Amino acid sequence: MDTCNKYVKKYAEVYLNIKALKIDHPFDYRIPSDLLPYISTGVVVEVPFKNRIEIGYVVKTSDKSELPDKEIKDIIKVIDSKPVFDSGKIELINWMSNYYIQPLGSVISLLLPPGGKYRKSSSHSDIKLKFKDYVYLNREKYLNLKDTINLNKNRAQKRIIDYLITHGEVSKEKLIRDTHTSYSSINSLLKKDIISIIKKREKRDFKYEYNEGREPEQKIVLNQYQKTAVSGIEDIIDKKIFHRFLIEGVTGSGKTDIYIAVCKKVLQENKRAFVLTPEISLIPQLFSRFESEFGSRVCVYHSNMSAAERYERWLDIRDNKFDIVIGTRSSIFTPLDNPGIIILDEEHDTSYKEGTMVRYNTGDVSTKMGEILGIPVIFGSATPDIVTRYRAEKENNFTLFRIPIRARSNSSVEMNVIDLKSIDHRKEDITITNKLHRAIKDELDKNNKVIIFINRRGYSNFVICNKCGNVPKCPACELPFNYHNDIKKLMCHHCGREQDYTGKCPSCGEDSIILRGTGIQKVQTKLEARFKNVTVLRMDSDITAKKKSHQEILQKFISPGAAILIGTQMIAKGLDIEDVTLVGIINCDSMFGLPDYHMNERIYQLITQVSGRTGRKDKKGRVIIQTFNPESTVIKNVLKNDYESFYREEIKNRMELNYPPFSNLINIIISGKNEAEVKIDIGNLFKQLSEVIAELEDSNSILGPAPAPFYKINLFYRWHIMVKTKDIYKFNSIFAEMLKVFKKFNENKIIVDVDPVWIL
C-alpha cells in the first residue's frame, strides 16, 4: 500500500469474532494513520465493541464511510498483519453463513489456524513454536579478518570455520557435535562477527512412510476411458473456468491415475491443488501415490496430526511450501494460494459432512469455492451420491465420465450370498458361518489376504441380565451400553460415557449379565482363536486414535504372507492391495431398519465399496455377504454390480416423495436438559414456521414436530422439525431472520442442519 498517497483508504469494514446470528454484517472502523501500512483484507485486528474489546477481521478498506465520523471508533491495534484469508474466502464465508444459517464468527473460525482457541490469530496461537539456533559464516568479514587473527592458536575456532565453509548453514548443536568444539568457541567467533546465529522454526514434520508395493519407476499408462476424462478436464483447465466433473468409475478403475494426471497439468500452469478424501485411513496410500509423482511438493493435513503439527503445516501451506494438499474435509479451509483444481475422492462418503457447529458439506463448499475462483471441481466415486449423480446428468456445467473397467486387473470377482435365516445357530456359528470359515481358510492357505467387514464397534452391542431381564443403559442417553472387551468396560457410543464391567447386574445384583450381539472385537477374538498362526489386525475408531496408527496397521497388513484385516467402514473404500482375494461381510442388516430415507443408498454404497477391495490386480477375488435379507432390491443390485438400476429406482422413489435431489431438506433440532422446555420451544418454533410456510408458494412443506430418532443424547432431550423446500435460498433467508428474534429458553440449543446426510 502506498502510504504517501493523500487519498489512501482510511476506513475498514471488520467482521467481529462473535458467534451470534444477529452479528451478520461487518462494522466500520477508522484506521489510525500509524496502522495504515499494516491494514489490508484478511488482517486480524483488535477493535472496541460496545463496552469491550473484540477480535476482528478486515474484509474491505475504503476512503469513506456512510456513517457519521463521530460514530466511528478507531482500530486499536493489528494483531496479525499477514492476512488469514483473501477476498475470495470472504465471499465463501458469506455464502456459508447464509446457506447454512450460521453466525459469521463461527464460519470464520474454520479458516483460522488450528490451536488458536477461536479468538487468536496465527501469530498468537496457544501452540508454542519450537525454534533452533542455526550458525552461518559471515564470509566477507572472515576474508577481511583472516590475515589478522591466528587460528593456529585457536584450532577449535578453525574447525568451526572450515566446517561452515564446506557445509554452509548448520544447527548449533550439530556444529558443536561434528567439530568437537564448545559453546565458548562459538561465542568467541560471534564476538569477532565472523559468524552469526539466526533462529529458525523447528518443524514437526508429519509424513507417511508407506510402501504399497508399486515399482517407483513404473509409469502410469492411461486407458481410453481415463484419457477421455483427463482430456475433458484439461480442456477446462486451459479455459480457466469453473466446471464440475463426476468420475463414476468401478472400484479399481484408476481414478487416482486421473487425479495425478490433472494435477500435473495444474502444476504446469503454476497453480496448486486440493485432493480431499473422507477418511484418514485412506491418506497413507493416497499420499504414497502422489509423493512418488510430486515428491516434497505434497503434504497431508488432518485431525490425526497433533495440534502443533497441524498449526505448523497450516503456516507452511500459507507460506507456499507445498503445491498439493491431501487431507480430510477441514483441509479445504487451509490457506493454499492460487488453487487450480479441487478433487474429492469417494465423494459419496458421509464423512464429508461436518456434524457439529457449522454443519457444512465439503462437496458444496468445494463447488462454491470452485465457482468463486473459476476452477474445476472433480468428484470421484464408484457409487456416487444420488444427488451428485442426478446433477451430473441434468445440469449444464457438470460432466459425467463413466469408467466401467478396472485399470490394472482382468480378474473377475465372484459374489456369493449366505441367507442367515437358513443357518441353524445351534449347530453353526452365525457370525462366521461354515462357508465363510472355509473360504477364509482356503485363501490363507494360498498365502493370500482376507478383509472382514463388520460395521459395529465394540465386542457386544448390548448386555442383558438373564435373571431379571435388565438391559444396562447409559444414564445420559437412555440407550443400551456396548461392551468393549479390550478395556473391560461398558461404553456409550453416543456420548462416550464408560462404566467398569463386573458381570453383575446393576438392578438385581446377580452375577448373571450375558453379552448379546456381535461387534468387531468379538469377530477378532473368534478369528484369532480359529487362525492362531495368522496375523489378525483390526481397524476401527477405537484402535486408530493413536497418531499414524492407520499407516502402521496397513503396513503390517500388506507385508508378505497371509493376513486378516477386520474393519468397520473405514476399510470399505480406497484400499488397493493386490493380495486381497476374499472379502467377507459379516452382517449389514442393522442398517435396514434405521428411519432415514438415505438407508438404501448407504447400504448399496457400503457393500459395493468394501466388495471392491478384492480382485484388484491379477488374482481372482471373492465376496461373501451374510444377510437375513438376501431378497432385498439393494442386495440384488449389489450382486449384479448394477449401480444404474439402483440409481434409477432410487430416483423414482425420491421423486414420488419429493426428497433430494427434488428438494432440499433442513433438519431443525431443539435440544435441552429440561424435557418440558424443549417441547414448548419446538411447539412455538413449529407454529411460527408453519405461518411462514403458509405464506410461501407450494414449494415448501413441514414435517413434525417429533422426537428425534435418538431422543436423548448426553443428557439433552431432542425434538426436531423437517422442512422440505424447492427454494433453499429464499427459505433460509426468511428462516434466518426468524431465528434472530425467536424467543426460547436460555438453556435450550437450536441446531440447524441444512442438507443433512443422517436424520437421526
The 10s digit of each residue's pLDDT in 155-184 is 888 889 889 988 888 888 889 999 998 888
Average of pLDDT values for 516-534? 89
| Mean pLDDT, residues 702-707 taken together | 90
What pLDDT shows up at residue 252?
79
pLDDT higher than 90, residue 692 = no
Does the pLDDT of residue 118 top 70, yes or no?
no
Considering only CA atoms, which of 14, 25, 28 is closest in space to residue 103? 25
Region 208-227: mean pLDDT is 68
Evaluate if residue 387 carries a pLDDT over 70: yes
Residue 662 confidence class, pLDDT cut points 50, 70, 90: very high
Confidence of residue 364 (pLDDT cuts 50, 70, 90): very high
Confidence (pLDDT) at 1: 42
pLDDT at residue number 121: 45
Does residue 540 register a pLDDT over 60? yes
pLDDT tens by residue, 641-654: 889 999 999 999 99
Mean pLDDT of 216-228: 80
Q: What pLDDT is stored for residue 153 in this prediction?
A: 74
Q: Span 25-48, mean pLDDT?
A: 91
Q: 668 - beta bridge partners?
A: 721, 752
Is 601 within 8 Å of 243 (Cβ atoms)? no
Cis geometry, peptide bond prior to residue 560 (ω within 30 degrees of 0) = no
For 584-674, where are the alpha helices, taking DSSP H only?
599-611, 633-639, 643-657
Q: What whole-number percentage of the chain has pLDDT above 90?
A: 44
Range 408-412 contact pairs with CB under 8 angstroms and sequence separation of 24 or more: 408/252, 408/254, 408/616, 408/617, 409/252, 409/615, 409/616, 409/617, 409/618, 410/618, 411/615, 411/616, 411/617, 411/618, 411/619, 411/620, 411/621, 412/615, 412/620, 412/621
The arithmetic mean of pLDDT across residues 689-711, rounded, is 85
727-736 core/surface letters (b: 16 or more CB in 10 A; e: else): ebeebbebbb
- Grid coordinates given for 537: 489386525
* Contact of 78 with 47, CB cutoff 8 Å: no
Per-residue pLDDT band at 411 (split at 50, 70, 90): low
Output the pLDDT for position 545: 67
Whether the predicted pLDDT of 710 surpasses 50: yes
pLDDT interval class at 145 (50, 70, 90): confident
In the numeric block, which cell numbers belong to residue 550? 492407520
Averaged pLDDT for residues 118-146: 70
Spatial neighbors of 88 by CB under 8 A, at least 6 apart, are 369, 372, 373
CA dihedral 426, 432, 434, 435 (to 10 degrees): 140
Rounded CA-CA distance 611/346 in Å is 15
Q: What is the pLDDT of residue 731?
A: 92
Residue 555's pLDDT band, with cuts at 50, 70 and 90, is confident
197-217 residue pLDDT tens = 888 776 655 555 545 544 444
The whole-angstrom separation of Cα 93 and Cα 106 is 10
pLDDT of residue 735: 93
* Cβ contacts of 513 within 8 Å, gap of 6 or more: 463, 464, 465, 466, 472, 501, 503, 504, 505
What number is the average pLDDT over the span 518-529?
A: 89
Whole-number pLDDT of residue 308? 82
**Cα torsion for 389, 394, 398, 403, to the nearest 10°?**
50
Mean pLDDT of 136-145: 84
Q: What is the DSSP letter of 481?
A: P
Residues 436-449: tens digit of each pLDDT: 999 999 999 999 99
Amino acid at 695: E
Q: How far apart are CA 549 and CA 600, in angstroms?
A: 32
The grid coordinates of residue 24 equal 451478520
β-strands 563-567, 449-453 pairing: parallel
Q: Is the pLDDT of residue 7 over 70?
A: no
What is the per-residue pLDDT for 372? 97
421: number of Cβ within 10 Å: 9
Q: pLDDT tens digit string along 742-752? A: 999 999 999 99
Can you give the pLDDT at residue 127?
A: 60
Q: Mean pLDDT lowest for which of 138-142, 340-344, 581-585? A: 138-142
Mean pLDDT (the chain) is 87
Averaged over 324-332, what is the pLDDT? 96
**pLDDT at res. 632:** 86
pTM as predicted: 0.81
pLDDT at 650: 92
Distance CA 408, CA 253 (A): 8
Instruction: Supply the DSSP string of 165-203, one letter for each residue.
Output: HHH-SEEHHHHHHHHT--HHHHHHHHHTTSEEEEEEEPP
Q: How much is the pLDDT for 217?
A: 45
Statement: residue 376 has pLDDT above 90: yes
pLDDT (mean) for 385-413: 88
Confidence of residue 218 (pLDDT cuts 50, 70, 90): low
